[in-house]
């Protein structure tokens, strides 16, 4: 078994995991999702993921009628049944099934889904040598802090990166760097770390949260403030954070070499500290 699925609280075979054609997640992208990492049987900030899901639900007027506690216990049950020590857990909640109309329907039950797969870590050479990125205009809506399933702009950006032979696409609104297609962005200049503030223009990633704590623990100077494309290109170090990305060094952006063209000391320290953190966090 390489994939385990629970749909609306019931375990189902992969081939039989089906939703209705008028599910609002399918028709409108009217739903939320989370991706949770499990390391050696331990959940990495599961509680933080659940907090973000509940907050997102409040912001889009989505009632989690099945109960957050039920979701939490089903996630734990699914991971245990999967037998995977290292797993990725995809959780999606939509507003449910109703005749298609823009206004939210009444008395409709949510559709909720859990997919558990064995986690496949990024190649070690990515962390040792760094990867490349490109920049693309940020064409998403302005509520990026809500983790909705409306990801077409992100997918287009990721495809552009793929076609360019790059690992990731970094978004910019005008001249300001926001985040990337599936990760948050940090730069280092003269020993100071910069990242876009957690407002409506970025998703406040759980890995981002963990790395901010590591930055503080190391007494690195941190500024959560907008920075420009010019500052990105002039940075001494650039790195990404994300659930499956972890802490990823970027050594070239739009063909321009970053710093010395190798992962920097601060980035490598954060990679080391993050890996230690994954061995201890279980919540």
Q: Please tell me the predicted confidence (pLDDT) of residue 2.
A: 87
My answer on whether 258 and 215 are in the same domain is yes
For 264, residues 6+ apart whose C-beta sits below 8 A from its C-beta are 188, 236, 237, 249
Instruction: Kindly state whether residue 29 falls inside one of the protein's structural domains.
Output: yes
Last residue of a domain, one of 93, 118, 143: 118
In this structure, is residue 25 part of a structural domain?
yes
Residues 253 and 136 in one domain: yes
In a domain, 101, yes or no: yes
For residue 68, what are the domain limits? 3-118
Q: Are residues 112 and 148 in the same domain?
A: no
DSSP 121: P
Count CA atoms within 13 Å of residue 261 on its CB side. 3
In a domain, 283, yes or no: no
* CA–CA distance, 247 with 234 (Å, rounded to integer): 20
- Residues 129, 113 within the same domain: no
Which of 83, 118, 153 represents a domain boundary (last residue)?
118
User: What is residue 251's predicted lDDT score, i.e. its pLDDT?
Assistant: 98
> CATH number for the domain including 252?
3.20.10.10
23 and 57: one domain? yes
Instruction: Looking at the structure, tell me whether residues 258 and 143 fall in a common domain.
Output: yes
For the four alpha carbons of 241, 244, 246 and 248, in that order, the dihedral sign comes to negative
Taking alpha carbons only, the member of 34, 40, 116, 134 closest to residue 74 is 116
What strands lie across the sheet with 10-12, from one edge to the other?
10-12, 3-7, 111-118, 87-94, 31-39, 42-43
pTM, 2 dp: 0.96
Residues 134, 188: one domain? yes
Read off φ and ψ for residue 185, nearest 5 degrees: -120, 135
Residue 104 forms part of a structural domain: yes
Same domain flag for 151 and 181: yes
Residues for the chain: how many in total?
283
147 is catalytic: yes
Which among 147, 256, 269, 276 is annotated as catalytic?
Answer: 147
CATH number of the domain enclosing 47: 3.30.470.10
Domain count across the chain: 2
Whether the CB-CB separation of 228 and 253 falls below 8 Å is answered with no
Considering 118, 136, 162, which residue would you say is the last residue of a domain? 118
Task: Answer yes or no: do 112 and 139 share one domain.
Answer: no
Which pLDDT value is given to residue 95? 98
pLDDT of residue 1: 63
Residue 194 lies in a domain: yes
Residues 183 and 267 in one domain: yes
Identify whether 129 is part of a domain. yes
62, two tokens: 């989505």
In this structure, the dihedral spanned by the alpha carbons of residues 156, 162, 165 and 168, taken in order and rounded to 10 degrees, is 70
User: 133 with 266, same domain?
Assistant: yes
Closest CA to 179 of 149, 200, 152: 200
Asked whether 110 and 104 are in contact (CB, 8 A), the reply is: no
Q: Is residue 258 part of a domain?
A: yes
Locate 203 and state its tokens: 């998703």
Low-confidence residues in the chain, pLDDT < 50:
none
Whether 129 and 265 share a structural domain: yes
Residues 68/113, Cβ–Cβ less than 8 Å: no
Residue 13 Cα distances to 36, 87, 239, angstroms: 21, 18, 38
């Amino acid at each position: 078994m390489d994939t385990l699925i629970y749909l609306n609280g019931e375990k189902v075979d992969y081939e039989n995991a089906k939703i209705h054609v008028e599910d609002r997640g399918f028709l409108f992208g009217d739903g939320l999702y989370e991706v949770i990492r499990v390391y050696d049987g331990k959940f990495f900030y599961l509680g933080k993921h659940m907090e973000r899901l509940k907050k997102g639900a409040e912001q889009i007027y989505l009632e989690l009628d099945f109960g957050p506690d039920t979701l939490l216990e089903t996630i734990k049950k699914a991971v245990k049944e999967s037998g995977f020590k290292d797993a990725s857990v995809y959780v999606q909640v939509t507003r449910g099934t109703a005749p298609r109309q823009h206004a939210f329907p009444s008395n409709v039950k949510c559709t909720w889904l859990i997919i558990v797969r064995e986690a496949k870590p990024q190649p070690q050479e990515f962390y040792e040598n760094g990867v490349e990125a490109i920049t693309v205009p940020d064409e998403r809506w302005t509520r990026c802090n809500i983790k909705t399933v409306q990801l077409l702009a992100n997918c287009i950006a990721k495809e552009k990166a793929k076609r360019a032979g790059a690992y990731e696409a970094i978004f910019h609104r005008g001249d300001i760097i926001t985040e990337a297609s599936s990760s948050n962005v940090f730069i280092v200049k003269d020993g100071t770390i910069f990242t876009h503030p957690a407002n409506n223009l970025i998703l406040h990633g759980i890995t981002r949260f963990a790395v901010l704590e590591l930055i503080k623990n190391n007494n690195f100077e941190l500024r959560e403030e907008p920075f420009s494309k010019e500052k990105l290109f002039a940075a001494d170090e650039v790195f990404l954070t994300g659930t499956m990305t972890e802490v990823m060094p970027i050594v070239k952006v739009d063909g321009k070499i970053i710093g010395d063209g190798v992962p920097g000391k601060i980035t490598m320290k954060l990679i080391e500290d993050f890996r230690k953190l994954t061995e201890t966090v279980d919540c």
